[in-house]
Amino acid sequence: MPATDRFRLPSLRQRRRLLCVLAVAALPALAPHGAVAAPLTPTPPQTEGPFYPKAIPADHDADLTQVAGRPAPAQGTRLYFSGRVLARDGRPQAGATVELWQCDALGRYHHAGDEGSPRDDNFQGYGVAVTDAEGRYAFKTIRPVPYSGRVPHLHIKVRTADGAALTTQVYIKGDPTAGDPVLAWTAKGSLELLTMALAAAPGREPGALAGSFDIVLR
């Protein structure tokens, strides 16, 4: 074969065919960039309940297990509770305020007129965290416990700078839920969206637990 034949340029038809093959091969790599993600399901709202603080306590940081000025720590199993605040399109909500309140290990709410005994005055009862640039929040608290008529739960309220807000409650996977009056009025399918699993928290106090719960705002 002459040397000139070995280096002859492909015909126009061959060049078009080659371009088509290259374009088809590139589609899988391009598809994820052009795909539109399905919107996230909003976290269902629930009642605030009668136990939101009547007055915000002076100590309302994100560690509910230690009250400023009291040497003894709170009773109860330590729970490292964290997650993200997101918009429906998945965008993290930086600078959102997340409030958490719950009863102490003896079933008493603080700062809400739930007087009586027994009561753990070493439990803060209420705390606030602000989300970081990735929408993340974190609390140190105790595993919620049941009290008369209610299964274990955490109360949370979220507010963002642009006015989005949500008040709801978070439940623990595996805890019995029968007979709870709030859950009796919860829409079908909502409980799964309000439930988080707990696991051991390595490197923390013996027996400490960790749970993650993402909050999706409308």
Which structural domain range is residue 197 located in? 78-217
| Domain identity same for 113 and 181 | yes
Q: What's the CATH number where 157 sits?
A: 2.60.130.10
Segments of the chain with pLDDT less than 50: 3-7, 9, 18-31
- Residue 174, pLDDT score: 97
- Residue 20, pLDDT score: 46
CB 129 within 8 A of CB 80: no
Q: Which residues of 56-90 are buried (b: 16+ CB within 10 A; e: fewer)?
A: eeebbebbbbbbeeeeebbebebbbbbbbbbbeee
For the full predicted model, state whether its pTM sits above 0.85: no
- Residue 67, pLDDT score: 98
CA separation, residue 204 to residues 123, 174, 208, 210 (Å): 19, 23, 6, 10
User: What is the amino acid identity at position 116?
Assistant: G
- Residue 102, pLDDT score: 98
In-domain check, residue 175: yes
In-domain check, residue 117: yes
| Domain identity same for 98 and 20 | no
- Residue 19, pLDDT score: 46
| Domain identity same for 103 and 172 | yes
In-domain check, residue 52: no
pLDDT, one tens digit per residue, over 147-188 is 999 999 999 999 998 999 999 999 999 999 999 999 999 998
